[in-house]
Amino acid sequence: MMYDTRVNAMRTQIPSSIESFYTKVTEVATSDERQRVVLASGEEISARLIVLANGLSISLRHFLGLGRRVISECHSVTLGFDVEPIDRPVLPFPSLP
């Protein structure tokens, strides 16, 4: 499957209630409670979780101090994370166990 086909297939699975921005991030500030990004337009976004994708651009990765180790040329990179509910036994939406 081609990369653009995979990305577009994943994008169709994002609920319409989720706001997406396809622009450049010029600034990032992180903390334990809130994350903040400034977009090229000057608009600021602050949220508990912000998902950034930098594609082939390395400036965002360098800005965040993230390194890169090439294991196999021409392969996609995937990053995963766990989400745990706070003050409740399960998340208020369908999720994997």
- List the chain domain ranges: 23-97
Q: Dump pLDDT digits (tens) for 22-47.
A: 888 889 998 989 999 999 999 999 99
Kindly report the pTM of this predicted structure. 0.55
| pLDDT score, position 43 | 94
How many other CB atoms are there within 10 angstroms of residue 25's CB atom?
19
